[in-house]
Amino acid sequence: MTPAREPVTRAVTVSIVEGPLVAPVLARVVGVVSARADLPVDRLEDALLVTDVLGAGASRHGLDGRVRVRAQALDRTLVLLVGPLAEGGGDALLEESRVPGFGDVVARLADEVTVVPDDAGAEFVRVELSARA
């Protein structure tokens, strides 16, 4: 007889007060969830770059000085949801990710990037990174 196994959590939400812990905490969370999504190392590196960029600006556009990120592992895909952000904050956050001569870092590394409004007037940046064949 084998012991019953607990279901594997495939999504994690973190809320971090703006400060020096944002980047290292997000990196560890995204690393764990990317492993659950079975992403290859090159896509994990892309996910970490995207997380660094979004995490650095999220508190400026957030509603309370915190960075909130939900990381979800799907079948060979990582989905990040950053927010809630103030109205217009999603587009502003993505605009800040532009690098002269390179363009929009998030859009170039991710498979899909969207700004999703909610019923309360807040916005979320949704980023999807999948394993590439």
CA 19 to chain centre: 17
> Would the pLDDT of 2 be above 70?
no
* Other Cβ atoms closer than 10 A to 42: 10
Spell out the SS3 assignment of the chain: CCCCCCCCCCEEEEEEECCCCHHHHHHHHHHHHHHHCCCCHHHHHHHHHHHHHHHHHHHHHECCCEEEEEEEEECCEEEEEEEEECCCHHHHHHHHCEECCCEEHHHHHCCEEEEEECCCCCEEEEEEEECCC
Which range of residues forms the domain containing residue 40? 13-130
Domain assignment of residue 53, yes or no:
yes
If you average pLDDT over residues 110-126, what whole number do you get? 94
Domain assignment of residue 63, yes or no:
yes
Domain assignment of residue 122, yes or no:
yes
* Amino acid identity for residue 35 in this structure: A
**Domain total of the chain:** 1
The reported pLDDT for the residue numbered 9 is 57
Question: Is residue 126 a contact partner of residue 90, using CB atoms and an 8 Å limit?
Answer: no
Provide the mean pLDDT of the chain.
89
61-92, pLDDT tens digit by residue?
Answer: 988 888 899 999 998 999 999 999 999 999 99
Domain assignment of residue 114, yes or no:
yes
More confident position, 65 or 32? 32
Domain assignment of residue 71, yes or no:
yes
Considering the entire predicted model, what is its pTM? 0.88
Domain assignment of residue 17, yes or no:
yes
Domain assignment of residue 3, yes or no:
no
Domain assignment of residue 4, yes or no:
no
CATH number at residue 109: 3.30.565.10
Phi first, then psi, for residue 57 (nearest 5°) are: -110, -10
If you average pLDDT over residues 48-72, what whole number do you get? 90
